Structure 1
C-alpha cells in the first residue's frame, strides 16, 4: 500500500522504475473570429479529415515553442503575420485520437491582432476558406474542432475528448 497523501488519502501509485513518460502530439489551432463568425478551411489532398472543415492548424515541430508554431502555421496557411505576444490561449483540448490511439494536446489560440491580408496560402491542402457562424457550423466539421469551438463559446478553457470515463 502507498503511504497516505498530505490529505490522508492514499497516494497514487508511481510508475515503475524506468517507465517512459507519455509522449503527446501537440496541435496548434488559430481561432479567427469576426462579424462573419469563425474562419474554417475545407481540407483537401490530406490523409486526415479530407473534405472536412477545420480551423487553420498544424503540429508543433521540434525546436519550436507552441506560440512560435502557431505563428508559423498562420503564415504558411493564411499568409498573415502574428506575433507570439499577440496570441491568447482560449482553449486546451486533451484528445485521444480514435484513428491512431495517440494522445494529443490541441491548443486553440486567438490572435489579438495580425498583419497582412487573409488568403488561402496552401490551395493544394485547402479547397476553400469560409466564415461560418459559430452556432451553425457545417455538418462536415472535424468533430473535435466543433467540440472545441462550442467549449470556447461557452467560456470553458479545458476539455477532454475520446477518453473513457
Structure 2
C-alpha cells in the first residue's frame, strides 16, 4: 500500500453542534471557507490542545454564530478524510445542543450565511454526506440508509 501524504502528522479532532430550537428547527451555516465551502453544515471546529470538549464546542459556536448553547448528548462520531490536496484526517464529535437564545450574529469570515431551518426543509440543502448522516440520526425521515 502506497503511503498517503497528509498536511498534518496527526488526526485533527473536531466538535460540531447540532443546535435544535424549541420549534424543531436546526441552525445551518453556509461555509465561507474550505473544507465544504458553499455547503451547509452545523457550527463547529477544532478542539485546542488541553481544551475540554464541551468548552471547545461552546467556544466554536460562539465564534461562528454568536450563540450560547446548552450541550445535551453525544449523537455520534464521524471520521472524514478530505479529498484532493487538502488531505486532512478528521474525527468529528457531533453533539445535540439547544440554544440559550436564538439571535444569530455570524462570523462573516467563516460563515457566508446562517439560518434556522425547519426539519421539513433540511433535505433540500446542499450538505456534505457526514452532515446529512448526522441529521438523519436526529431526524430519522432524513436517513437514506437501508436498515
Question: Shorter-normalised TM-score: what interval?
Answer: 0.7 to 0.9
Taking a change above 3 Å as real, the CA distance of residues 134 and 93 of structure 1, as seen in their structure-2 partners, is farther
Structure 1 residue 152 displacement after superposition: 2.8
Taking a change above 3 Å as real, the CA distance of residues 131 and 98 of structure 1, as seen in their structure-2 partners, is same
Is the contact made by 1:89 and 1:109 (CA closer than 8 Å) also made in structure 2? yes
Aligned length: 128
Taking a change above 3 Å as real, the CA distance of residues 111 and 139 of structure 1, as seen in their structure-2 partners, is closer
1:1-165 counterparts in 2 under 5 A?
23-34=10-21, 35=23, 37-44=25-32, 46-82=33-69, 86-99=70-83, 102-112=88-98, 114=100, 116-137=101-122, 138-154=124-140
Higher RCO structure (Cα 8 Å, ≥6 apart)? 2
Q: What RMSD, in angstroms, separates the aligned Cα atoms of the two structures?
A: 2.4
TM-score by length of 1: 0.66
Alpha-carbon displacement from aligned partner over 1:52-104 (angstroms, at most 9, x marks no partner): 0010111111121111100111211121234xxx4123312231314155543
Taking a change above 3 Å as real, the CA distance of residues 147 and 48 of structure 1, as seen in their structure-2 partners, is same
Is the contact made by 1:43 and 1:50 (CA closer than 8 Å) also made in structure 2? yes
Taking a change above 3 Å as real, the CA distance of residues 37 and 117 of structure 1, as seen in their structure-2 partners, is closer
Unaligned 5+ runs, structure 2: 1-8, 141-147
